[in-house]
Amino acid sequence: MNFIKIGRAAALAVLLLGTSALSGIATLAYAQADENAVSGGEMTIIAGSDIKSWDPAITSGTFPGGPMDQLDAVYGFLVYVDLEGNVQGGMAESLSSPDAKVWTLKLRPDVKFTDGNAYDAEAVVYNWKRTANPDTLAPAQPFVSSWIDGVKIIDPLTIEITLPTPNRNFGTTLAQAAPFVGSPAALETAGTDKAAIKPVGAGAFLFESWDQGISLSFKRNPDYWDEPRPYLDTLKFAIIPETNSRISTVVQGGAQMMAGYPYQFGANAEAAGVTTHEIPIPGLYRAYFNQKAGIFTDHRAREAFYHAVDPARLMQAYTQVDGYVTPTNYFTEASPFYDPSHVLPTYDPAKAQELFDALAADGKPFKMKLVTYTNSDLKRLSSYLQQVLTGYENVEVELELVDQAMLKPQCQTQVNFDLCVDGGVLVANGAEPIISNLLKTGGVDNWGQYSSEAMDGYLAAANATMDMTEVKAAYADVQKVVAEDLPLYIFGSETRFLLLRDNTGGIVPSNGGILQKQYLYLCEDACAATE
């Protein structure tokens, strides 16, 4: 399979420069992505779901083709995380701290929103205070509100943030949880009506049109701070929920790229004019146990589920491809935090039946509602789980398949499930903020509402020190609690890929894979360097 070298060469440049905190070297580091850049043209990227509003505080997921990809086109990332897990400069110039407690954010001079107002410290702090307000309903509200009282404007381009406790991951969490800054004037005009918010940012592109549920269109920002970028005249997003339809659209030339996985692409990856590009950020296939109500409030039920299902066969049913390695805990072997001494329960049908029988004897027969969405991959996965589990005695499984847009409201907001399976992998570039979002009490991705004082303490300990020995020790404790408590069902791991036309240039991923769209360009002929 062919891979584009551009993005990975850029990431290597960053690594060789040895950045450990954000610096103003992103342009230099990514210069290789510009080597053959061509100005002009129109590019269409396929997204699996639409945005809900243009509110820069309403963020959701850092994967390519997701809603944050579309918001980034207008607002740009204040800071972002590169492929090596380092925080780099976007709209900001630098973010640094000597002790992980007091952080200094430096903004770029002479940057303006497209309404003419200054992109300055006042504007950034306005957005942060708005995110910290519970009435905004921002997913990052708990994070931002925890430090907003420690914010001090030093001058128009300098902000000092004093955290209540040291947090070595402050920069990475800010990059992924609260990265966007909108024009305060536009946000003030809209007031509390999110539908009235106009997308006014200082990013690489200007909003042009939005056909809800169908497409979005943007045009080049002629006043973008980082000339000569962006290279494209027009950037579009096509909203196509169904995977096979996304693939055929790229193969037929109706769009430039989509995000997905090789098992989905199949022979389409070898079609004329098509290639693939790996985004080498590991992620987990996972399902959420409801731990507030229902059968999985009993630890025996969670353990029984692990023992009852062979994850290798589950992945084969899901992907129709063999050879997936089953993770033994939250961190895979590729992670510097991996600890082989703490492992999840393995496939053991006899032990599973023993636990199912014990639950039934205690008046708790294993009855489960499995909720997921309706694409073909997840239909196979859910059908396989139902078939395998109902092969045991004292087990009943109900399937509920919902539209993709309804999965999060039903699982995260209503907690109306016993087991909820979200599609794809939850990508993580480094441990935070993904691990706390998943496992911390009240975490925004903690759909099953798992809560553990021990887990919260170990996660806090990992964040509170710059000493990597202490960090690894804390994450070893985290993995111990994961293996003991079974807060969620982990059944596979994978990296995302792009399926794209081979005349695509300037692939520079950030955060969980979101592309730096100011670097994208189109070549007259195939320009994707392959290896």
String of DSSP letters for 468-511 = HHHHHHHHHHHHHHHHHH--EEEEEEEEEEEEEETTEE---EET
pLDDT average, residue stretch 222-232:
96
What is the structure's pLDDT at 417? 98
Residues in CB range of 330: below 8 A, 6 or more apart: 284, 435, 439, 478, 479, 482, 490
What is the structure's pLDDT at 82? 84
What is the structure's pLDDT at 63? 67
Sequence letter at residue 25: I
Q: Are 507 and 515 in contact (CB under 8 A)?
A: yes
Number of H helices, E strands in the chain: 17, 21
Taking the complete model, does pTM exceed 0.95, yes or no? no
Location of structure tokens 């589990």: 389
pLDDT average, residue stretch 13-28:
33
Helix%, strand%, coil% for the chain, nearest 5: 35, 20, 45
Does residue 493 surpass a pLDDT of 70?
yes
What is the structure's pLDDT at 3? 28
Convert the pLDDT of each residue in 188-222 to its tens digit. Answer: 999 989 999 999 999 999 999 999 999 999 999 99
Half-sphere exposure at residue 502, Cβ-oriented, CA atoms within 13 angstroms: 16
pLDDT average, residue stretch 53-79:
87
Range with lowest mean pLDDT among 23-37, 119-133, 357-371, 507-521 = 23-37
* Predicted confidence band of residue 242 (pLDDT cuts 50, 70, 90): confident
Q: How far apart are CA 22 and CA 162, in angstroms?
A: 17
What is the structure's pLDDT at 489? 98
| Region for residue 326 given its phi and psi (left: phi exceeds 0; alpha: psi -120 to 50; beta: otherwise) | beta
- Strand 395-402 relative to strand 366-373, pairing: parallel
pLDDT average, residue stretch 22-41:
60
Output b/e per residue, 3-15; b: 16+ Cβ within 10 A. bbebbbbbbebbe
What is the structure's pLDDT at 85? 78
Residues belonging to the chain: 531
pLDDT average, residue stretch 401-410:
91
pLDDT average, residue stretch 147-170:
96
What is the structure's pLDDT at 509? 86
Percentage of the chain exceeding pLDDT 70: 92
Q: How far apart are CA 311 and CA 253, in angstroms?
A: 36
Q: HEC states along 434-455?
A: HHHHHHCCCCCCCCCCCCCHHH
Q: How far apart are CA 307 and CA 343, in angstroms?
A: 13
pLDDT average, residue stretch 365-392:
96
Range with lowest mean pLDDT among 98-102, 171-175, 431-435 = 431-435
* Predicted confidence band of residue 31 (pLDDT cuts 50, 70, 90): low
What is the structure's pLDDT at 8? 27
Q: How far apart are CA 73 and CA 66, in angstroms?
A: 12
Does residue 11 surpass a pLDDT of 70?
no
Location of structure tokens 């496992």: 439
Handedness of CA 383, 319, 480, 435 (dihedral sign): negative
* Residues β-bridged to residue 43: 235
Q: How far apart are CA 310 and CA 59, in angstroms?
A: 35
Residues in CB range of 357: below 8 A, 6 or more apart: 393, 394
Convert the pLDDT of each residue in 98-110 to its tens digit. Answer: 889 999 999 999 9
Spell out the domains of the chain, with CATH numbers in brackets.
Answer: 281-495 (3.10.105.10)
Q: How far apart are CA 49 and CA 321, in angstroms?
A: 26
